[in-house]
Structure 1
Amino acid sequence: MTQQQQVSSGSDSDPRYARFGERKRKRMISNRESARRSRMRKQQQLDDLIGQGSQLQDENNLITQRINDATQMYLGVASDNNVLRAQLAELTDRLRSLNSVLQIVQEVSGLVVDIPELPDTLLEPWKLPCPIQSIAASADMFQY
């Protein structure tokens, strides 16, 4: 049996404690064993905290990646939205021009032509003079 095993087993034959009284010797051995267990608990707690830190860092990296992906999607949608706004402005101008031509035709020919009124598309985009069309959407359209 090694000396360390004697200490941890609480052996009374440990020469380091031979000069002390029986109670004091047992108390010292018990205190050393308690200190050893305490150090082990602290080491285990430290290992657990290091593991938690690593797990939290991994989660943080995953969330950061998801934010980056969402930002890229947002930039893509914003770009598409800008293109659609430009197309809307162009088509609105074309429609105004066509309405002007219809008004001229109406004045010159005397024919009654139904000319729809154009809403202010920036203030009331829901009143756009275009046919109602359904928009197909999928469930994964907004997932990232």
Structure 2
Amino acid sequence: MSSVQATGSSGSDMPTQYEMVDDKRKRRMISNRESARRSRMRKQQRVDDLLNEVVQLQKENAEILQRVEVMTQAYNQVELENNVWRARMMELQDRLQSLNNVLYVAEEVSGLAMDIPEIPDPLMKPWQLPCPSQPIMASATMFNF
């Protein structure tokens, strides 16, 4: 028994109230499905964008870590060279002190006045350069970032 016959209508092709409600329900279901599909697509696009951002950030992080490693190696090399120069400076200061001591003894023994310069102590005045006539050369491209 059809819905037309159940309502007692005369069999005309006019849509019944039930058919109109059913059509609205079908349109709403189709609309909801389409909305859900769009929502899933937006969500998937957001996930894809976030994954691309993660990959990009990991790449940048790896590059930064590599630069840090290179800079650390350069720093260690410079520190090693500085230690060598400090040791040489201390050796030369000791030799100069020994020579000055010999001059003091020679001055005492001979009675002649000798001009014995005082040995500067770089640790007492670290802000003063031991050789002020030699400028320190530097450039902005020393450290490649």
Same fold by TM-score, threshold 0.5 exceeded?
Answer: yes
**Cα offsets for 1:49-92 (capped at 9, x unmatched):** 11000000001001101111111111011101111110111010
Please tell me whether residue 65 in structure 1 is matched to residue 66 in structure 2.
Answer: yes
CA distance in 2, matches of 1:106, 1:131: 30
Larger radius of gyration: 2
CA distance in 1, matches of 2:106, 2:129: 24
TM-score by length of 2: 0.76
1:46 maps to 47
Q: Please identify which structure carries the higher helix content.
A: 1
Paired letter, 1:143 = N
1:104 maps to 105
**Cα offsets for 1:117-141 (capped at 9, x unmatched):** 2243333345576563223333322
Stretches of structure 1 that go unaligned for 5 or more consecutive residues are 1-17
Stretches of structure 2 that go unaligned for 5 or more consecutive residues are 1-18
2:36 maps to 35
**SS in structure 1 of the partner of residue 26 of structure 2:** helix
CA distance in 2, matches of 1:113, 1:54: 74
TM-score by length of 1: 0.76
Identity among equivalent positions (%) equals: 58
